[in-house]
Structure 1
Amino acid sequence: MTRWPYVLCAAFLLMALSPLLSASEALAASPFSGYIDLRYRYEYQHHFNLKSFGEQPVKGESCDGFWLQRLRIGGCWQASDWLTLAVGMQDSRVFDSDLNSESYFYNKRVDHEKNAYEDQWELYQTYLELAPFTQHNLKLRIGRQSISYGNNRIFGPGNWGNSGSYHWDAAKLSWHRGEHFVDLLWGAHIIHEPEQFSLHHRHENYGGGFYSHVQLSHQWAIEPFYIIKYDDHGNFSGESGTDDLTCHSLGSRVTGQLGPLTLDATLVGQWGRYGNDALRTWGGHIQLGHCFTVWPWQPTINVDYSYASGDRDPDDGTRQTFLGVFGSRDSMYGRINLFSWSNLHDAQATVSATPGKRLKLTMELHRFWLAAKQDVWSLNSSAYRDKTGHSGRHVGDEIDLFVQWQLPTLRGVETEKINVRVGYSRFWPGEFTKNVADNVVADWLFGQIQYNYRF
């Protein structure tokens, strides 16, 4: 199905907004605003891909180098104090990859291609926002939107991925007062199917509930939430048979200051049905950190621990594998992205420093174990599992090195940004990986430049 009518609508919007680019005084008073976000990244994957590890991958290629391009373009029109209209498009493409994308990204459960690299000319940030009751601090946003809170662990768009993990067709009712807020949500996230426009095929999972933020003091805040995730297509296979998914997630995030240390902690409990199995799982994360502000380069040290329960008995009719919620994993569990928040122990140490105003250096160290050694490695749940548990628990260790540099702008305006990032990661396999996959070391290298302009 052609996407050009939607592309032309976005182009028409940008042409209407273009006169604003040259008049800063008019911009301040204008009801129009817009954005252009263009990103190029080169990646080289050695002895791994998104679904396999080792020299003999179960799917895809063992080694691959490719270019990723993503363009986001759009704008908003504030028609009145209570009405805002937004239209945006995202175009994601991949070049020089050795993968056969159609077969590699095909997902049997949704019967569509779920492409992490490519989704050409798709709707992005296209919504209607109503705020008729400003005296009650209420607003309603309906349409295609990104949803994120806190550190993106519960809700996050997954922006590192070229097509993005979660783009929502949703309704969100928001109440806020000062730093406090409560959001009520209901919607579904799209499938990135390059051959079909998202309005012409099914969504993936539906979800809804609430997410809130309560500022207890200057230093402490809590973010209680309840989210339901469900899929009624009957394609979830459990130990006792195949049926629908219904997953309830209840928990909270807490942030605060413990003397010289910052604290960021999240705890989630899950229950429901996975196919014909009962679902009983939980996950958590805690981070303690400190920034040495009086030292040169202002180094920051963080220590993290992430946990997600696994299924210790593959035949008891109860699924104990934590499913995550709707969060990002881009920077959570190792930058190579061999793991998600499922059947996991992840011990992490991070050191970052800022040698200059525009320059940041980061190093991360990870050690990964399976929470239940009888359960799957989330990289590929159909390939990497030993139900006996005899293959061990230690999955591997990882080091990630990154440099981020903000370049001087082309026109010297504050609304324009040019960022360059380069990075290298290495993963050493542990006992479990050597037994079920391969004993080779994996490497990942990337270089990225991103141009962002707001007008």
Structure 2
Amino acid sequence: MKSPLAFLGLAAAAFAADAPPAWQPEFNVRLRVESREQNFTFNRAVASPTDDTWLLTRVRLGLKGKLSDALSLYAQAQDSRELGSDRPGVPYILGAEGDDPLDLRQLHVDFKAGDATVRVGRQLLAFGDERLVGPVDWNNLARSFDAARVTWPKVGGGLDAFVGSVVQMQPTSQTGWHANHSSADDIFAGVYSRFAASDTLKVEPYVFWRHKKNDTLYSVAGAGTARPYDVPQKVATLGLRWTGGPPEKLDGVDYDGELAWQTGETRGRQQVGAAFVFPGPAWIDHAAWALHAGVGFTTKAPGLPLRLYGEFNYATGDRNPADAKTQSFLNLFPTNHKFYGGMDVFAWKNLREFALMASATFSKQTKARLEHHVFDLANTNDTWFRANAVTPVRALTPAARAAPGRAGQETDLVISHALNARVAFDFGFSYFAAGRYLAQTGGASDARFAYAQTVLQW
């Protein structure tokens, strides 16, 4: 998977000519302007390169081919860039998307063998509502895996087994990066199942295993540093997700939830000066859990369907960073932008959150959603983690450990409009009111985030 140039030539030829029915080209362009203020420092007194406005561009060119009744192929190239930003152009550092000029995001073959389908190659993994495993498509780089996966669609509501390694960023020069590398030092495997307990209740038991031996390929010292995924670990995650509905069968009510428990070992923290940082020098015991529970109600108001939804999210935090065990839940490979506020300042890790949401459908083309989130740290002896579940908002100092757990409250408004099947627009605004935790650990300025996005596809 060194270069997608040959694939691009094949796809371009398919666009230029009348492609046979067995070959289907795809094209997707996304443009997003973002404006952020105090999203990282929460301190107006600090001149931060993250308080800025920039343009994110992403182009994807795909080609789907049916080689026979039992064999198909899919390939997708991606070009991602961040323009007009003062942030360093290093992916994941200070929240930067960075530039990945041209890479192969997907390239896999599917084999049908009886009732099973085997997929081998670079691919997306997404399970449940993506709280633990998803392609994080909001991010300009997104995520894929080099993996093998077997799907049995007729076992219950579907059964998947997989093993693979996440594709990571790799430096090619001082300013160049490519998402074109996976490593045997970071193996991720699992089994995900789906069953219908009744006509209104579906359950999804699963087990995941991650064995990450070493740190990621690069690390940049300084504030805002983030390794792309997480610390070295040998951790099993056992979980159960459930969904109830549709609302038409439950007098307008729907509900969902997920419970996950983890056991194993991780490379914990080490003390550097007054603060605790990760990873630590030794393997320590890991035991953690997380919970999501939500309930919704859809009104029958004529002409303007309205859905109200409330949820509670919890994930354990470490009780003592200096001992030989940790309770800090590992969020694995999530799509967190969908869940914990549009500003991306929280993950399903050391979190206690209550949220209320209202969504309205004005027409087939236009929708709006209003959310309010109340965030607390589950334990102030652990770090406040951003949406990538790795980057700390504040250093874990004695002041942070003694601070109140109230991190803040966030209000989000998102308006979506589909012009037609090929063109869509999104507009969003988020406001974060800083809480007492920020006030006692440094600056406590309120934060703002706004974006406008256009997607073109065919």
Instruction: Give me the TM-score of the superposition, normalised by structure 2.
Output: 0.85
Partner residue, 1:116: 97
Out of 392, 414, 417, the position equivalent to 2:422 is 417
Partner residue, 1:406: 418
Partner residue, 1:15: 13
Out of 217, 224, 229, the position equivalent to 2:198 is 217
Mapped to 2, the partners of 1:203 and 1:55 lie a distance apart of 43
Q: How does 1:173-252 map to 2 (within 5 A)?
A: 173-177=150-154, 180-193=157-170, 195-199=176-180, 202=183, 205-233=186-214, 244-252=232-240
Partner residue, 2:277: none
Mapped to 2, the partners of 1:425 and 1:313 lie a distance apart of 33
Partner residue, 1:429: 434
Q: Is the contact between residue 376 and residue 405 of structure 2 (CA under 8 Å) also seen in structure 1? A: yes
User: CA offset at residue 206 of structure 1?
Assistant: 2.1
User: CA offset at residue 326 of structure 1?
Assistant: 2.1
Mapped to 1, the partners of 2:52 and 2:181 lie a distance apart of 32
User: CA offset at residue 9 of structure 1?
Assistant: 2.1
**What is the CA deviation profile of residues 275-316 of structure 1, one whole-angstrom value per residue up to 9, with x for unaligned ones?**
221001000101100111334410100001111000112222
Partner residue, 2:139: 161
User: CA offset at residue 325 of structure 1?
Assistant: 2.7
Change (3 A) 1:143 1:387: farther
Query: AA paired with 2:39?
Result: F
Q: How does 1:27-426 map to 2 (within 5 A)?
A: 30-49=21-40, 52-55=41-44, 61-102=49-90, 105=92, 116-131=97-112, 133-134=113-114, 137-164=115-142, 166-177=143-154, 180-193=157-170, 195-199=176-180, 202=183, 205-233=186-214, 244-257=232-245, 260-275=252-267, 276-379=283-386, 380-381=391-392, 383-387=394-398, 389-408=401-420, 416-426=421-431
Query: AA paired with 1:261?
Result: V
Ranges in structure 2 where 5+ consecutive residues have no aligned partner: 217-230, 268-282
Partner residue, 1:238: none
Instruction: Give me the TM-score of the superposition, normalised by structure 1.
Output: 0.86
**Number of matched pairs:** 416
User: CA offset at residue 56 of structure 1?
Assistant: 5.6
**What is the CA deviation profile of residues 373-420 of structure 1, one whole-angstrom value per residue up to 9, with x for unaligned ones?**
221110343843245632110000000011100003xxxxxxx42110
> SS of the counterpart of 1:399?
strand
Q: Is the contact between residue 139 and residue 175 of structure 1 (CA under 8 Å) also seen in structure 2? A: yes
User: CA offset at residue 149 of structure 1?
Assistant: 2.2
> SS of the counterpart of 2:17?
helix
Change (3 A) 1:19 1:63: same
* CA-based RMSD: 2.4
Q: Is the contact between residue 74 and residue 106 of structure 2 (CA under 8 Å) also seen in structure 1? A: yes
Q: Is the contact between residue 116 and residue 192 of structure 1 (CA under 8 Å) also seen in structure 2? A: no
Mapped to 1, the partners of 2:429 and 2:327 lie a distance apart of 34
Ranges in structure 1 where 5+ consecutive residues have no aligned partner: 108-113, 236-242, 409-415
Mapped to 2, the partners of 1:312 and 1:200 lie a distance apart of 35
Q: Is the contact between residue 89 and residue 97 of structure 2 (CA under 8 Å) also seen in structure 1? A: no
Query: AA paired with 1:407?
Result: L
Out of 420, 438, 451, the position equivalent to 1:446 is 451
User: CA offset at residue 357 of structure 1?
Assistant: 1.9
Query: AA paired with 2:244?
Result: G
* Sequence identity (%): 24
